[in-house]
A and B are shown apart, each in its own frame.
Chain A
Amino acid sequence: MSWLLRHLVGGYSRLHPLRALVAVIAIAIGVALGYAVHLINTSALAEFSSAVRGVTGQADASIIGPREGFDESVLEVIARDPAVELASPVLEVEAALVEPERLRGRTLVIQGIDLFRAARLTPHLIGEPLMEGDADARFALLDDGLYLSPAALEALGLGPGDRVGVQVGGRVQRLTIAGRLPAARAGDLLGTMDIGFAQWRLDHLGRLSRIDLQLAPGSDPRRVAAAWDMPAGVALQSADEAGTRVSNLSRAYRVNLNVLALVALFTGAFLVYSLQSQSVAARRTQLAFLRVIGTTRAEVERLLVIEAAAFGVLGSLLGILVGLGVAAAALRLLGGDLGSGFFQGVRPALAFDGGDALLFFALGVGAATLGGWMPARDAARSPPALALKGGSGLDHDLGRAPAWPGLSLLAAAALLLLLPPIGGMSLGAYVAVALLLLAAVLLKPRVAPWLFLPLRRWLASRALPPQAAPWWLAATRLAATPRFAAIGAAGIVASFALMVAMATMVASFRASVDQWLERVLPAQVYVRAGPATGSGLGGTTAYLTAEDQRLLRSHPQVARVELTRNLKISLDPARAAVSLIARPIDRADPARQLPLTGAALPRREGEPTDLIPIWVSEAIVDLYGARVGGELELPIAGQRQRFLVAGVWRDYARQFGAIVIDAADYERLTGDTVRTEAALWLQPGASAAQVIRDLQAGLETRSAEFAETGELRAISLRIFDRSFAVTYVLELAAIVIGLVGIAATFSTQAIARTREFGMLRHLGVTRGQILGLLAIEGLLVTALAIVVGLGAGLAVAWVLVEIVNPQSFHWTMDFRLPLGLVLGLIAALLLAAAATALIAGRRAVSGDAILAVREDW
């Protein structure tokens, strides 16, 4: 066997090194992309999780509540429990910076800590004073002193003694940089100050965001916490749970991206299948000879499978190395965020894991082996006598492909689509997508006659000009060899299908987002009290004061103002916080204000008055089982309140859920009159720019940000497009591999069909016509791949739109086919394929026609 491997298999690769190289590179690209994306995501997640764990330091567990905080009386309850050795209270806010002027628009996470308790649990939050001698400065340490991490000092361009202004309601609170946090993690942007002063100065009197706990040895945090009477929305979270939660937040996105990255590997497997099918066909006589001299079927099959696996081993090794390089470069140049926004600002180090590398190596070898297995099996089953008589098998069709494997895979895919999400991920749907693509490739030979037979008949029934002879030749050949025609562009089927699917999904998504933006941004101008809080840690210190609200309403060019309170509540400590949006809602017609997905629950006679209506986003339905007409319990103002779910609305902004409540109901329940956002409808003919200028000058809240609707829509769509940029790169890679497959196919054919082309030259076919024949065959083979790929792509798009998105991201969208884009893609692919076939086939006409038929001459 080893002799056969070395001489027969190895010899063939030495004779056709380009074919071997293409197979190795295809697998390498697939493995490299998949591994790089996985590494980037894993590294970013490790960094992010480590940062989250780092916040709570040595604590066994933490009490966490809504971002806006909870009453500090909880601390008294907890501290009394003998199981609690130490309870360290923390107030965490994301402060809007307004001074110096250059920092306007930026935020800083400030943690108010109890110095003495934090020193034991979270020593990295303890500051080191840098100002000595100056009496005022020393005083500042006790009052408005702020300690910044080295990264924050650098990022904000501040030094000891500098003062920064933080927007707190309608006033600016100035804080002095008193020192730095020497033990803060590299890259962490944060500041700390004394908790008492933080509560006072940052307008959070009596409020806490977190209590870090050290428990007595042997204490079970869950059992200890069960005895505490805590306000609604406040819960215990272990250190591990914090990391898990971060992982859960981004899991759907990461899995989605990993699956997409593996498409390149999938395409690579089809390319190996395509190459091996042809090389096996070309060696049909040699293999038949082996059978004749006593090599068993199993041995022939094993030989060819080992050959494919060898490509896989080399490709995977190369892919792992390239993947490491790509990931390291991407982390250095782009950080850990691939467009999702989950890991923005994170600068992770490469997190190499040998197990993961081994997994991707195995995937690469597996893909190549699988790609080589089917042709190997066909070769082993081929009767040797027929093969010996037939010479090169490339000229013969490989027999009628059975339909049952493809149909069985389609049936299995349909069953998998019925599965519910597993661990919040559409695993069934992802496997179904793979099976759909595989089924498409397997059924392609059955589709080929539908395309080529009518074409051949049509051409045969016409008086063709001599220059059209290559069309007759190509159509006649492909009609007679459907299975061979199908093998030609197997890689293109998978990559084109994915391209169509992703383009359709993105177009559907984008159109739906565009429509949604139109619905959710009905006003002309929008005001936000402070910059967007990106960290997800702590509530904002900026809000629109009563005076600000009056000013907005009284502006002569403002016809109507709608004020909103936007805050976060936690329905489940293991999940991300949910947005609670308090805004005026017309119960009689909520669809006028919200993009409802179905009918809203009408107000009924005799409806219990204690049930306040709320309108939930689709994510709340998926994640928390809410349904229209049902009840949902929410932690509001420290109490658990039951609400009536009056409608479901579509929300593309908050993947983890949002709940709208009428502002009057919210105010009645909480007494909270703070408003963080405002929508302004202007008088007819009013200038939005002028209104913005007036308000900027007049509002007490200097951190307020203004935007016109058009600008907001443009920004939103830009962010949307950026999020999908990486997916386009991955799709492009898959298409390139598919085209490489076409090149390899036609290059192999050019060699194997030398005699045929030589004979045609003898009959009077010009070199140009032979090149034309190859280009037309490339075009037709790709057209077949496109027809099959389009069908598979639309099916996959349906799965992505109707199943993967609702299950993974909890939003629905309207299906929309980007016809122009798909047609453009088809035209580009056909041209590229024809050109590729033509270039690869150059050698077919570069040789001597006499030599091609040399056994005669």
Chain B
Amino acid sequence: MLSISGLTRRFGARPILQDLALELGAGEYIAVVGESGAGKSTLLNLIAGLDLPDAGQIRIDGTNMTAIDEDRRTRLRRTRVGFVFQAFHILPHLTLAQNVELPLVLLGIGPAERAERVQELLGAVGLGERGESLPRELSGGELQRVALARALVHRPALVLADEPTGNLDPDTADRVLALLARTIRARGAAGILVTHSQHAAGTADRVLRLDHGRLVPA
């Protein structure tokens, strides 16, 4: 599903990623750990097509992300990638249902199917009755569950989650991580969890460490 080879990215003279390689199959959920500044975020940006490498290739379902223009990368991201952010980034003026609906609108899916999928995902994250609530009425943990529903509602092949529990208390964080792993697996998507927490990384199938620009088993 995801194939990375020879990936190199430098900021100035400083190499962040060096000849990095990764293979990720459908339904596989991995965690990437590393110290601050190790290049975890840079790796996710490159996979998502938000940044371009100095060398190497990133293929998602066979499409080389480094060989297509920005608009095509964006469209690919729209259909194949789901994001979960540390700060949730839930649009405060939209209801929970509308926030989750957004990726489906971008894909041109009809209203009936949109409503059905939104309800399914909100139900899956335990917020089935809260669709018409506004984000300001929710706690941090609940907001991250909404973000998770939004990341999965369009059935992406790849879910990228960056420190999704960084803003949550330990108990809530545990629940969100468990939910993340469960829903990714249930939908057959591949997932990459970036975190500096060994505890969080433990919820993944496999844990890799970013060390001197390369991924090595933790």
Question: Which residues does A use to contact B, with CB under 8 Å?
Answer: 389-390, 395-397, 460-466, 468-469, 472-473, 476-477, 480-481, 755-756, 759, 761-768, 849-850, 853, 855-857
Contacts and interface: CB of A to CB of B under 8 A. Distances in A.
Contacts of A397: 93
B78 A764 contact: yes
A855 B89 CA distance: 11
A767 B70 contact: yes
19 contacts: A396-B93, A462-B110, A462-B111, A463-B110, A466-B106, A469-B106, A755-B89, A763-B83, A764-B77, A764-B78, A764-B81, A765-B106, A767-B74, A768-B71, A850-B45, A856-B41, A856-B85, A856-B86, A857-B41
Contacts of B48: 762
B98 A476 contact: yes
B68 interface: no
Given A463-B111, A766-B75, A477 B103 contact: no
Contacts of B92: 390, 395-396
Interface string B89-124: 101111000100011011111110000000000000
Given A477-B93, A761-B50, A856-B166, 17 more contacts: A462-B110, A755-B89, A756-B89, A759-B85, A759-B91, A762-B50, A762-B83, A763-B83, A763-B103, A763-B106, A764-B77, A764-B79, A764-B103, A850-B41, A850-B50, A856-B86, A857-B44
Contacts of B41: 850, 856-857
B19 interface: no
A484 to B, nearest CB: 8
A460 B89 CA distance: 22
B163 interface: yes
A857 B45 contact: yes
B75 A472 contact: no
Contacts of B54: none
Contacts of B91: 395, 477, 756, 759
A477 B134 CA distance: 12
Nearest to A461: B111
A772 to B, nearest CB: 12
Contacts of A481: 93
Nearest to B93: A480
Contacts of A461: 111
Given A463-B110, A469-B105, A849-B50, A766 B74 contact: yes
B45 A476 contact: no
A752 to B, nearest CB: 12
Interface in B41-86: 41, 44-45, 48, 50-51, 70-71, 74-75, 77-79, 81, 83, 85-86
Nearest to A760: B102
A697 B109 CA distance: 85
Contacts of A849: 50
Contacts of B89: 755-756, 759, 762, 853, 856
The 4 closest A-B pairs by CB, nearest first: A764-B78, A463-B110, A857-B41, A856-B86
Contacts of B94: 476-477, 480
A853 B93 contact: no
Contacts of B74: 761, 764-767
Contacts of A763: 77-78, 83, 102-103, 106, 150
A764 B75 contact: yes
Contacts of A480: 93-94
B136 interface: yes
Contacts of A759: 85, 89, 91
Interface string B123-160: 00000000000001000000000000010000000000
A759 B136 CA distance: 18
A464 B113 CA distance: 12
B136 A390 contact: yes
Given A461-B111, A762-B83, A472 B105 contact: yes
Contacts of B28: none
B216 interface: no
Contacts of B44: 857
A761 to B, nearest CB: 7
A850 B51 CA distance: 8
A466 B71 contact: no
Interface of B: 41, 44-45, 48, 50-51, 70-71, 74-75, 77-79, 81, 83, 85-87, 89, 91-94, 98, 102-103, 105-111, 136, 150, 162-163, 166
A453 to B, nearest CB: 13
Contacts of A768: 71
A476 B163 CA distance: 29
A821 B102 CA distance: 40
B93 A465 contact: no
Given A763-B78, A767-B70, A395 B108 contact: no
B155 to A, nearest CB: 13
Given A395-B91, A476-B94, A477-B94, A853 B71 contact: no
Contacts of B81: 764
A856 B163 contact: yes
Contact of A463 (B70, B71, B108, B166): B108
Nearest to A765: B106
A691 B109 CA distance: 79
Contacts of B109: 463
A767 B75 CA distance: 11
A847 to B, nearest CB: 12
Nearest to B166: A856
B93 A856 contact: no
Contact of B71 (A395, A396, A766): A766
B39 to A, nearest CB: 11
Given A763-B78, A850-B50, A857 B108 contact: no
A349 to B, nearest CB: 58
B103 A464 contact: no
A856 B98 contact: no
The CB with the most chain A CB atoms within 10 A, among B44, B75, B89, is that of B89
Contacts of A850: 41, 45, 50-51
A298 to B, nearest CB: 27
A29 to B, nearest CB: 33
A396 B130 CA distance: 19
A241 B136 CA distance: 70
Contacts of A762: 48, 50, 77, 83, 85, 89
Nearest to A755: B89
Contact of A465 (B85, B108, B111): B108
Contacts of A857: 41, 44-45, 162
A389 B162 contact: no
Given A849-B50, A850-B45, A855 B86 contact: yes
A464 B109 CA distance: 7
A762 B161 CA distance: 12
A313 B23 CA distance: 65
Contacts of A468: 108
Nearest to A467: B108
Nearest to B102: A763
A762 B156 CA distance: 13
The CB with the most chain B CB atoms within 10 A, among A460, A465, A476, is that of A476
The CB with the most chain A CB atoms within 10 A, among B74, B77, B108, is that of B74
A763 B106 CA distance: 9
A767 B166 CA distance: 29
Contacts of A755: 89
A764 B111 contact: no
A545 B105 CA distance: 86
A183 B204 CA distance: 104
A503 B108 CA distance: 43
Contacts of B103: 763-764
Contacts of B105: 464, 469, 472-473
Contacts of B163: 856
Contacts of A462: 110-111
A473 B48 CA distance: 23
Contacts of B50: 761-762, 849-850
Contacts of A855: 86-87
